[in-house]
Amino acid sequence: MEHYPYQSPKELEALIRKSIVGQDDGVRTVIRECNLPIPVAVIATNTLTSSGYKGRNVETILVDLLQDAFRIINTDVEKYVGDISDDDDEDEIRQRAGEVAVKLAGKGIIILDEADKIRVHPLDRREDSFFQRSIQQTLLKIIEGGTGFGEHPLTPRIDTTDILFIFSGAFIGLDEITKRRLRPEAEPETTLGFRPAPANPDHEPKTATPETQEELTARDLIPTTEDLIEFGYIPELVGRITLRCRYNPITAETLYNILRESDISPAKEFQKMFRRTRNNLEYTNNALMEIARQAEKLQTGVRGLRNIIGNIAYPIYYELSGKTNQRVLITQRTVNGEAPATIRAFSCESEPPSGAPQPERRFTGRRESLTRRGKKAT
């Protein structure tokens, strides 16, 4: 095992995603499941403004981290603040809680979401990119580490040296910059204007095949410092981002599992909406798989599942307004637009038993059958 004589005391991480997967929720979930006393603040970077302008400046991001630290303290006050008796002064308790919150915030995590929105576009004029440059330069001071940031009574005491900053975003266009660096001889997919004739007509231009494209995505598409600078970040900020990783594109199988197994699945939410009007909404497994394939094709991620289901379910929901005991079945042909959804009235007496065979497996989203007037209907 190698031992390095020097280890950087400050590391930043850049999370690059191609599809919407929710890095901030992933970090929060890991910390919550492991029961770690680490405050986390998620900041929408595209809402920040420069100091002196109306809006939220960069230094106020420490306030969110401090509030999450107080949330952790409130979960177990005696553990963090100590034993509290009736004789203790309230101001003294608040002072002790504030000191603990400052220490917790100094070991916290700040996720700068939508960090790609503060880049300086190469085609923008210098006056048009003033705010983006100013925000990046202001972030340098907090990222470098130190105290004295913000106007809150406690935030100037927070030492940002050991805070983990995570830059996350879609970074649209960064892949093309990396591919041009890796394969400068590759033929671009589209060109504007007339294409010059090759010097050797018998020589075919090198193009990236799907297999090569997948190989690049799997191995080599981690951006370098030059790529991030060309993308629109100032060199001083890029030099402080030492760890860089990227999320793999979300697959259709993963989207299908989300539709079936997740507690906040869009498919289950629409079923609950129909049950409020005393109707049933069901999907076939092939329909859910087709919805997942379409979301993968559109590269809309998990949030795109709701739009696809909504385009089918909302018209049916309003069509059934005022009606009850209606069963709606969405099939693969319904998702493809080849056939309408099947709508049939049902009653407790006409329903088949729960163990009766079905022509195709259906997803009802519930373990128990719907109960009406003391009777069960599957």
- Ordered by start, the domain boundaries in the chain are 13-171+223-246, 252-377
Give the model's pLDDT for residue 376: 43
Class of domain 252-377: mainly alpha
d(Cα 179, Cα 221) in Å, to the nearest integer?
Answer: 7
Give the model's pLDDT for residue 353: 41
Q: Would you state the structure tokens that stand for residue 319, as one six-digit string?
A: 């069509």
Q: Do domains 13-171+223-246 and 252-377 have the same CATH topology?
A: no
* pLDDT greater than 70 at residue 111: yes
C-alpha pair distances (Å), 136 with each of 48, 51, 119, 129, 222: 10, 12, 8, 11, 21
Bridge partners of 41? Answer: 110
Nearest CA to 240 out of 178, 161, 294, 295 is that of: 161
Sheet of 362-363: strands edge to edge? Answer: 342-345, 326-330, 280-284, 362-363
Q: Which long-range contacts (CB under 8 A, 24 or more apart) does 182-191 make?
A: 182/216, 182/220, 183/208, 183/216
Among 119-128, 162-171, 251-260, 358-367, the range of highest mean pLDDT: 251-260
DSSP assignment letter at 194: P
Class of domain 13-171+223-246: alpha beta
Give the Cβ contact number of residue 87 at 10 Å.
Answer: 5
**Going by DSSP bridges, is the β-strand pair 326-330/280-284 parallel, antiparallel, or unpaired?**
parallel
Q: Is the pTM of this model over 0.75?
A: no
Nearest CA to 116 out of 244, 263, 20, 228 is that of: 228
Lowest mean pLDDT among 33-42, 312-321, 330-339: 33-42
